[in-house]
Amino acid sequence: MEKPSYLNFDPEGYPWKPDIDYRQHPEQYRVGKGEQGVLICQPYKSEIGKFWRFRTPEIARGSSGAIFVLFLEYLDQGDFVGADMARKYLQMGFTRARRYANYKGGRKYDSAQDYKLLEKGTGEQQKAAAASIFYESWKKAEAEPRYAARKVQWKTTRG
C-alpha cells in the first residue's frame, strides 16, 4: 500500500537547510526534483511564499502572475536560485490545487487508518481551474530559454 513519503523524512539527509541564506550561498543550492526545498530555502521562501495562493481561479491567476513576474525578475538579476524557487512555487501551486481538486480538504491519506489512500474525486472543482492556471505558468517558466539553459548548467555543475 502506498504511504506518504513524509513518514520516512530524514532531515539530516535532506540537502536543503533552513539556516542557510541561499542568496548569500547559492553554491549550496541544489535543483533537486520537483518542489524539493521550496518551503525551506530562505530568503526566497519569504519573498515568494507571500504571493502563493490558490483558493479560487481569480486568486490563482493573481498569485501565479505575481510569482511569474518574480521569476522573470530573478532571471534578469542573474539569480538562478530565485528563478528556480519561483518555478517551484508555480509547480507547487499546480500540485496543491490539484490535490484539493482530487481530495476533499486536500487530504490524500487517512492517518487514522494506517494512511489508507482516500477516495479520489471528492474535492472542489474550482481548485481544478486554479491548478490549470498554475500549470500554464509553471510550464511557461520551464520553457523560458534563459532559465532552461541555466538549469541544465546548474544541474551539471552543482546538482
**Is 117 exposed, middle or buried, given 0-12, 13-18 or 19+ CB atoms closer than 10 A?**
middle
The answer to whether residues 38 and 45 touch, using CB atoms and an 8 Å cutoff, is yes
Q: Where are the domains of the chain?
A: 15-150
Condensed to tens digits (0 to 9), the pLDDT of residues 23-67 reads: 999 999 999 888 999 999 999 999 999 999 999 999 999 999 999
Sign of the torsion formed by the C-alpha atoms of 81, 61, 46 and 19: negative
3-state DSSP of 81-107: HHHHHHHHHHHHHHHHHHHHHHCHHHC
Condensed to tens digits (0 to 9), the pLDDT of residues 81-118 reads: 999 999 999 999 999 999 989 888 777 787 787 777 77
pTM of the model: 0.89
